Amino acid sequence: MRRVILASMAAAAMAMALPLTALAQNVEVAGVKYEPTAEVGGAKLQLNGAGIRYKAFFKVYTAGLYLAAKATSPEAVLGATGAKRLHIQMLREIDGNELGKLFTKGMEDNSTREEFSKAINGVLRVAEIFSSKKRMSTGEHFSVDWVPGTGTVVYVNGKVQGEPIKEAEFYNVLLKIWLGKSPADEQLKDALLGIKRERSGRG
């Protein structure tokens, strides 16, 4: 009887371990590997989703979103109070000033006037970071982390870009570029939320 119980417990343990093994694997998007977990501000996050930003038929960059717990709607992501990370890796070269302008426009288009006003310091900082970079080349990357109690920390190629942006409103305004009502790419929005749909018409 004891052997039967032990065997059943072992089988159950093995069954429970299968999903964990699957989750422990890297996710590869357009040749870019995203780790299943990341640490931000001492908190362990999990990859919520990753995808590709297309412009017409061209792949511009990959993006991956890390959260403390799975979220499948913009409201759940924006409402989460813990640490977060958005990681982007370029798939083609783009002018840094243009990228900064695109991000600024994306934030303005997807937020209310009040939200944008409260986040303006961060909006200007991000535009300045990318315009001073001149260009983002293929293979270069940047991360934008939300660290509770610290603020938004921007990394370009692994290097911190100045002091944290303190305004709490800024991070959600930034995320709305990809998760807002007029996202940069609808399919990328779905991918970051872990929703799988077929891309139609754009390769």
Q: What pLDDT, in 10s, does the model give residues 45-81?
A: 999 999 999 988 899 999 999 999 999 999 999 999 9
* CATH code given to domain 2-192: 3.50.70.10
Q: How many CA atoms lie within 13 A of 58 on its CB side?
A: 8
Structural tokens at position 140: 């270069």
State pLDDT tens for residues 153-184. 999 999 999 999 999 999 999 999 999 999 99
**Mean pLDDT of all residues in the chain?**
87
Q: Would you state the pLDDT for residue 57? A: 85
Burial class (CB in 10 A: 0-12, 13-18, 19+), 12: exposed
Structural tokens at position 59: 């792949």
Other residues' Cβ atoms within 10 Å of the Cβ of residue 203: 9
What ranges do the domains of the chain cover? 2-192
State pLDDT tens for residues 111-141. 999 999 999 999 999 999 998 888 999 999 9
